[in-house]
């Protein structure tokens, strides 16, 4: 009876994975929980000084990597907040491509979170204090899906728009490698 029990374990695993994948989280972060504000860069969306950094430590929500709803929200926010303006649909333009294997500042969720919140040299604005932290984590999850880092059942499928690249859930996993800023130019 080995095959049936393996199948049961497999199905149970799928099922439990499904539990978290499908959760729709609507709770708001606590008030004052903005991520730490801008540090070194001078380019800020909006043009004014950043707000006071929040007093509450922001949690690590890299678990959103496994939540299809969060990744889908991240995809929407990527469009709404005009990340496409520099990164195009992941292919890169003024900003580096996000679909490939080269990561200038790290590919882990915490690294991408820092890139979005603190900004990066040569033009990545610091969105800390401007984009709420839970949305930043959603964007982090989506960005990771662009290079196929997420599980296929969590990554989003095609969007209801003109299609450029293949849907995120059929992209190959681009094994991340660290790249230097000089090499990327």
Partner 1 sequence: MTTARPKQPRLNSVPPTVEEIAALEGAWRDPPGVLGWLAAINHKAIGKRFIVTAFGFFVAGGLLAAAMRLQLAKPDNHLIGPDLYNQLFTMHGTTMMFLFAVPVMQAMSVYLVPLMIGSRSVAFPRMNAFAYWIFLFGGVMLYVAFALDIGPDAGWFAYVPLAGPDYSPGKRVDFWAQLITFTELSGLLEAVILVTTVFKLRAPGMTLNRIPLFVWGMLVTAFMVMFALPAVMLASTALITDRLVGTHFYNPAEGGDAILWQHLFWFFGHPEVYLIFIPGLGFMSSIIPTFARRPIFGYSAMVLSLIATAFLAFGLWVHHMFATNLPELGKSFFTAASMMIAIPSAVQIFCWIATLWTGKLVFKTPLLFVLAFFFVLVLGGMTGLMLAAVPINLQVHDTYFVVAHLHYVLIGGAVFPLFGAFYYWFPKMTGRMLSERLGRWNFWLFLIGFNVTFFPMHLLGLQGMPRRVYTYGAEMGWSGLNALASIGALTIAASMLLFVINVWRSLRSGALAGADPWGAGTLEWSTASPPPACNFAAIPVVAGRDPLWEPGAQPAHVGGLSVDSREVLITTVIEAAPETRESFPEPTVWPLISALATTVLFIGSIFTPWAIVWASVPVGIALTLWFWPRRHENAAHLALERAP
Partner 2 sequence: MRCRVAPALAAALAFASAVAMAQGRPTVVPGMHDALVAAGPQSGHIGALWNVILAVCAFVFCAILLGLVVALWRSGRGDATTRADVSMLARHERGSYLGVLWAVAVSTALLLAMLVASVLTDRALARLSLVDAVHVEVTAHQWWWELQYSGSPESARFTTANELHVPVGRPVVLTLKADDVIHSFWVPSLAGKKDLIPGRTTTLHLRADQAGRYRGQCAEFCGFQHAFMAFEVIADPPERFEAWMAGQRRPASEPADATTRRGQEVFLRSTCVLCHAIAGTAAAARKAPDLTHVGARTTLAAGTLPNGETEMQRWIADPQRLKPGVNMPAATLPAADLAALAAYLVSLK
Residues that bind partner 2 (CB under 8 A): 24, 26-34, 45-52, 54, 76, 80-81, 129-135, 160
Give the Cα separation of 100 and 102 in Å (integer): 6
Q: Where are the alpha helices (DSSP H) in 2-53?
A: 2-21
5 binds partner 1 (CB under 8 A): no
Contact criterion met (CB below 8 Å) for 1 and 85: no
157 binds partner 1 (CB under 8 A): yes
> In whole angstroms, how close is the CB of 150 to partner 1 at the nearest point?
12
The SS3 assignment for 118 reads: helix
Identify which range of 28-36, 87-95, 151-159, 177-185 contacts partner 1 by CB under 8 A. Answer: 151-159
If residue 102 lies in a helix (H) or strand (E), which one and from where to where? strand 102-103
Identify which range of 19-27, 82-90, 105-113, 132-140 contacts partner 1 by CB under 8 A. Answer: 19-27
Contact criterion met (CB below 8 Å) for 58 and 133: yes
Work out which of 55, 85, 152, 175 binds partner 1, going by CB under 8 A: 152
120 binds, among partner 1, partner 2, none (CB under 5 to 8 A by kind): none
How many residues can be counted in the chain? 185
């Amino acid at each position: 009876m080995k095959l049936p029990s393996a199948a049961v374990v497999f199905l149970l695993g799928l099922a439990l994975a499904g539990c978290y994948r499908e959760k729709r989280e609507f709770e708001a972060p606590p008030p004052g929980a903005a991520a730490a504000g801008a540090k070194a860069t001078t380019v800020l969306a909006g043009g004014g000084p950043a707000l006071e950094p929040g007093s509450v430590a922001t949690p690590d929500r890299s678990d959103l990597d496994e939540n299809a709803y969060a990744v889908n929200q991240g995809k929407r926010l990527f469009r709404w907040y005009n990340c496409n303006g520099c990164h195009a649909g992941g292919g890169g333009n003024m900003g580096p491509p996000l679909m490939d294997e080269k990561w200038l500042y790290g590919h882990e969720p915490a690294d991408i979170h820092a890139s979005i919140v603190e900004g990066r040299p040569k033009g990545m604005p610091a969105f800390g204090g401007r984009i709420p932290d839970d949305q930043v984590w959603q964007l982090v999850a989506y960005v990771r899906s662009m290079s196929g880092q997420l599980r296929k059942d969590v990554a989003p499928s095609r969007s209801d728009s003109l299609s450029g690249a293949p849907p995120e859930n059929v992209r190959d996993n681009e094994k991340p490698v660290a790249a230097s800023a000089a090499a990327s130019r």
